[in-house]
Amino acid sequence: MGEAAPALSGGVSVVLGGEAGQGIQTIEFILAKVLKRSGYHVFSTKEYMSRVRGGSNSILIRVSSRRVRAVVDHIDILMPLDSKALERLSGRIGPRTLVVGDRANLPDSPGLLEAPTSTIAEEVGGRIHENAAAVGVLSGILNAEEEVLMTSVREFFADKDEAVIERNLEAVRRGYEVGNDLCRRKLVCVDIEKNIAVRNEPLINGAEAVAFGAIAGGCNFVSSYPMSPSTAVLTNLASRDEDFGIVVEQAEDEIAAVNMAVGAWYAGARALVTTSGGGFALMGEGVSLAGMIETPLVIHLAQRPGPATGLPTRTEQGDLELALYSGHGEFPRIIYAPGTIEEAFALVRRAFNEADRCQVPVFILTDQYFMDTYYNTAGLDIRGEEVRKYLVRTDADYLRYRFTGDGISPRGVPGFGDGLVTADSDEHDEAGHITEDMGVRTAMVDKRLRKMDAVLAGSLPPGFTGGKNYRNLIVTWGSTYPIVKEAFERKAPPSSAHLHLSQVYPLPPSALQYLKKADRVIVVENNATCQLGRLIKLHAGVTIDGSLLKYSGLPFSVEEVEETIQRAERK
Amino acid sequence: MDENRFDMGPIDIAWCPGCGNFPILSTLKKTLEGMDILPNGVVLVSGIGQAAKIPHYLKCHFFNGLHGRALPAATAIKAANPDLTVIAESGDGDMYGEGGNHFLHCIRRNPNITNIVHNNMVYGLTKGQASPTSRIGFVTPVQTHGVFEEPFNPLAVAIALNAGFVARAFAGDTETTFAILRSALEHRGYALVDILQPCVSFNRLNTHQWFQENTYDIDESHDPEDRQEAFRLATEPDRLPLGILYVNRERTPFEENLPAFAADRSPLYAREPDLARLEAAVEAKA
């Protein structure tokens, strides 16, 4: 072997690749937890094929002394579990990338740092333990604490037989030794400062943040049909149905799911549907129904590439216009697009309150990348906003659709008070009864649209980062936020600033001043047609001067965004 | 209790004179008035169609939703507040056509609701096209050579799915309809009442007289718990049997199976999230 490897300090990017069924998700889950519990800031994400066995998948884990929340292209340490993974990731291997693996798996890899994971696995009881050996090797290389490692592995396999646990622990222990040995021989040198405070921070992914936010928002009814990548929110809430008193029902289709949610809100529940583009397409009529009967509704739409079935397990921000224009007829709505886990938690909770306050459908737009990405957080602000219900006890002459100044009629529910609560998908009068009186029709349309002022009054201001004298304004929505943020942090661009819209629609009035001040507005979006750009042009009258678009099915990397910013700086 | 408590008083009703919906409305009103229920405890859920206008003519809470979607909404309303009496009522096109998938899965789910279907074997609101239950040979402006699809058999389907209560009534026989509706409302779980009715404007084949000649009352000796016999009755090729075909009291209603109500019986509108428990759940992610 050659000379000692240069020290990897500050942070490292570790990529692990293998086929479905090799347990790389297990590796991701355990390793991220072990590293975080050892005191490192951790970020982890995965890209995977739509199959249960075979193919080639990979996970990226970043380990750092500072918070890390974005995808990078470069790889410091690569661990391919088979030659297919090595081949697939070869474009990201740089001169300084260390490739660690088992020679038996990777016969044609010069300069391989040998870690005999398959041999260890065979010796402790079979190839099934290779993922445990890999966890051990990487933990050793990254100086994870042995005790934390062993406890976490035991915890992960807790529901297995003691013999199975022992075999996994043995594979991990021997892998850890191999990793340590690589360090001792100075073939790998990782020197990242640990931080004791990080050890107790929760490690949460996007799906969990959405589910926790829903609970904090008082969600007690979920009706949905499974569809990647939104299903994790459904399963998460299902696993907590008894603890938090949530009615969870897997509907026969998305049409039933949304009609159940609207019915549940009508009867006083706080209901959520979680779906992806194709499923949401079937919910259009339900959104329109909520618009007409002025029932609150919260829709979590986790985007994936379309049209049609598209790329089921990949990411895209292609459904903004679908959400914006879904449902026939004219009625107000709100669209949120959280950029971080903390924001997702807070915005989902807020969605329930705003839906209830304004009696409108509220969308939370996320995507596969966001759903499947984990990082540690300093905490979720669980008591940051109270559940606010805008329900009235009805009296005998209650009118559900009473005309009011702001268009919001006090909302009653059946059985709470003496009044009768009505809902009609036909045009209706103040009592909720079907009508074809043109005067009432016009007044009802005006009343429903008047609620937009109430919506706007509750607007979330955009996030702004940068100096006063920017020429270029980079605009993001949703999951791209931390990626652009890190690109800005790497090399502060003197003439550029970053504007992040967590409320995409209606455009918050305070976004206008930032947009109008820029010489060049550049939109970064995970889609092909610049949907946010169009929305800004339409609603703010601001021309979009440039865009960075990606629609391969993968998220942006910090490097890609950095290049765009630097190019803008040079103009 | 006020005897006319479900009556709306003088209102403009949009149905054609002589429509079979009128006796169904008055019988339902009479059934509810004969029970220990107040308008404030009843939610009438409907879809779209002539039958689906019924909530506007009966005094209670109502959710007149989308075409075909009464059952998902009704299921959710009952699950959100099990104290309410929930009736899902619409026509054959709405329940068996547009809402066919929901019909199947609602029976599987078994919420404690009563499903009343006005079955006139034709589309009324859209002016005379075939419905899923139209008879073979029925000529319409769309089915110009006559219907050739097999009519949908709601009772046989419901019995096949082991529905808790399956009955058929004829709108013209208000006495039997009353008795059946009462039993259906008292049944704990999903109850289907398919009510045959003439459509005076668009169905010249299945007239009042046709129903008189092509239906008969099920013999009193029939045991409704006999599923095989119920299925045989439901699939009789010649005349349509009227009465309670099938009853199964073994199934637990949907909302009683929900863990959300295991420890807390209160309706969902009265609940608050347990933030201390949420804090613990988030901390467990460390």
Test mutation, A204, A208, A247, A421, chain B, max B CBs within 10 A: A247
Sign (positive or negative) of CA dihedral A127, A128, A133, A134: positive
Please answer yes or no on whether B262 and A242 come within 8 Å at the CB atom: yes
Question: Is the bond leading into A229 cis (omega within 30 degrees of zero)?
Answer: yes
Amino acid in the structure at residue A156: F
Mean pLDDT score, B163-174: 97
Instruction: Tell me which chain B residues have a C-beta less than 8 angstroms from the C-beta of A208.
Output: 285
Looking at CA atoms only, how far is residue A386 from chain B in angstroms?
10
Return the pLDDT at A1: 44
Region for A553 from its dihedrals, namely left if φ exceeds 0, alpha if ψ lies in -120 to 50, beta otherwise: left
Please answer yes or no on whether B64 and A242 come within 8 Å at the CB atom: no
Do the bridges between strand B191-196 and strand B165-170 make them parallel or antiparallel, or are there none, so unpaired?
Answer: parallel
- Contact of B239 with chain A, judged by CB distance below 8 Å, is answered with no
How many residues can be counted in chain A?
A: 571
- Torsion, Cα B161 B166 B168 B174, to 10 degrees, reads -160
Looking at CA atoms only, how far is residue A453 from chain B in angstroms?
27
- Contact of B62 with chain A, judged by CB distance below 8 Å, is answered with yes
Rounded to the nearest 10 degrees, what angle do helices A558-570 and A481-490 cross at?
60
d(CA B245, CA B156): 10
Instruction: Tell me which chain A residues have a C-beta less than 8 angstroms from the C-beta of B74.
Output: 263
d(CA A264, CA B77): 5
Nearest chain A residue to B256 by CA: give it: A247
Which ranges of A203-317 does DSSP label H, i.e. alpha helix?
206-216, 231-238, 241-244, 254-266, 277-281, 284-293
d(CA A318, CA B74): 34
User: B39: which DSSP letter?
Assistant: G
Please answer yes or no on whether A269 and B80 come within 8 Å at the CB atom: yes
Please answer yes or no on whether A263 and B62 come within 8 Å at the CB atom: no
B39-98 residue pLDDT tens: 999 999 999 999 999 999 999 999 999 999 999 999 999 999 999 999 999 999 999 999
- Contact of B65 with chain A, judged by CB distance below 8 Å, is answered with yes
Nearest chain A residue to B46 by CA: give it: A424
Tokens 């998305």 -> residue: A254
Rounded to the nearest 10 degrees, what angle do helices A341-358 and A438-457 cross at?
150
d(CA A241, CA A98): 45
* HEC profile of A424-469: ECCCECCCCCECCCHHHHHHHHHHHHHHHHHHHHCCCCCEEECCCC
Residues A113 and A182 sit within 8 Å (Cβ to Cβ): yes
Report residue A350 as tokens.
């807020």
Q: Is B12 buried (19+), middle (13-18) or exposed (0-12) by CB count in 10 A?
A: exposed
Strand, helix or coil at B256?
Answer: helix
Residues A225 and A254 sit within 8 Å (Cβ to Cβ): yes
Instruction: Tell me which chain B residues have a C-beta less than 8 angstroms from the C-beta of A248.
Output: 260
Using CB atoms, pick whichever of B80, B263, B286 lies closest to residue A202: B286
- Contact of B276 with chain A, judged by CB distance below 8 Å, is answered with no
- Contact of B39 with chain A, judged by CB distance below 8 Å, is answered with yes
Mean pLDDT score, B252-260: 97
Please answer yes or no on whether B286 and A243 come within 8 Å at the CB atom: no
- Could you give the C-alpha distances from A89 to A27, A149, A545, B258, in angstroms and in order? 18, 27, 34, 47
Using CB atoms, pick whichever of B41, B63, B259 lies closest to residue A242: B259
Using CB atoms, pick whichever of B72, B267, B282 lies closest to residue A382: B282
d(CA B6, CA A232): 45
Using alpha carbons only, give the angle B41, B43, B49 rounded to the nearest 5 degrees. Answer: 155
- Could you give the C-alpha distances from B209 to A61, A381, B122, B178, B259, in angstroms and in order? 76, 70, 16, 21, 50
Please answer yes or no on whether B65 and A263 come within 8 Å at the CB atom: yes
B94-145 residue pLDDT tens: 999 999 999 999 999 999 999 999 999 999 989 999 999 999 999 999 999 9
Sheet holding A334-336, edge to edge: A247-250, A221-224, A271-275, A297-303, A361-367, A334-336, A503-505
Please answer yes or no on whether B64 and A426 come within 8 Å at the CB atom: yes
Which of A371, A367, A291 is closest to A325 using CA atoms? A291
Please answer yes or no on whether A216 and B259 come within 8 Å at the CB atom: no
Do the bridges between strand A77-80 and strand A11-20 make them parallel or antiparallel, or are there none, so unpaired?
Answer: parallel
Looking at CA atoms only, how far is residue B42 from chain A in angstroms?
8
The upper half-sphere exposure of residue B258, i.e. CA atoms within 13 Å in the direction of its Cβ, equals 33
Q: Is A396 buried (19+), middle (13-18) or exposed (0-12) by CB count in 10 A?
A: exposed
Instruction: Tell me which chain A residues have a C-beta less than 8 angstroms from the C-beta of B258.
Output: 241, 247
Looking at CA atoms only, how far is residue A43 from chain B in angstroms?
14
- Contact of B83 with chain A, judged by CB distance below 8 Å, is answered with yes
d(CA A211, CA A348): 8
Return the pLDDT at A21: 85
- Contact of B59 with chain A, judged by CB distance below 8 Å, is answered with yes
- Torsion, Cα A564 A565 A569 A571, to 10 degrees, reads 30
Instruction: Tell me which chain A residues have a C-beta less than 8 angstroms from the C-beta of B104.
Output: 252
Looking at CA atoms only, how far is residue B71 from chain A in angstroms?
8
Q: How many CB atoms lie within 10 A of CB A436?
A: 9
Return the pLDDT at B57: 97
The upper half-sphere exposure of residue B238, i.e. CA atoms within 13 Å in the direction of its Cβ, equals 2
A502-512 residue pLDDT tens: 999 999 999 99
Please answer yes or no on whether B56 and A212 come within 8 Å at the CB atom: no
d(CA B195, CA B277): 49
Considering the entire predicted model, what is its pTM?
0.97
Q: Is B240 buried (19+), middle (13-18) or exposed (0-12) by CB count in 10 A?
A: middle
Sign (positive or negative) of CA dihedral A389, A302, A332, A258: negative
Sign (positive or negative) of CA dihedral A8, A12, A17, A23: positive
Please answer yes or no on whether B281 and A212 come within 8 Å at the CB atom: yes
Which of A8, A15, A10, A44 is closest to A376 using CA atoms? A44
Question: Is the bond leading into B132 cis (omega within 30 degrees of zero)?
Answer: no
**pLDDT-derived band at B2, boundaries 50, 70, 90:** confident
A to B CB pairs, distance under 8 Å: 210
Return the pLDDT at A3: 63
Residues B271 and A185 sit within 8 Å (Cβ to Cβ): no
For chain A, list residues with pLDDT below 70: 1-3
Please answer yes or no on whether A247 and B268 come within 8 Å at the CB atom: yes
Please answer yes or no on whether A425 and B64 come within 8 Å at the CB atom: yes
Cβ contacts of B9 within 8 Å, gap of 6 or more = none
Nearest chain A residue to B273 by CA: give it: A218
Using CB atoms, pick whichever of A202, A256, A268 lies closest to residue B285: A202
Instruction: Tell me which chain A residues have a C-beta less than 8 angstroms from the C-beta of B257.
Output: none
Which residues are bridge partners to A47 per DSSP? A58
Please answer yes or no on whether A425 and B267 come within 8 Å at the CB atom: no
- Contact of B123 with chain A, judged by CB distance below 8 Å, is answered with no
Residues A499 and A475 sit within 8 Å (Cβ to Cβ): yes
The upper half-sphere exposure of residue A257, i.e. CA atoms within 13 Å in the direction of its Cβ, equals 28
Please answer yes or no on whether A37 and B66 come within 8 Å at the CB atom: no
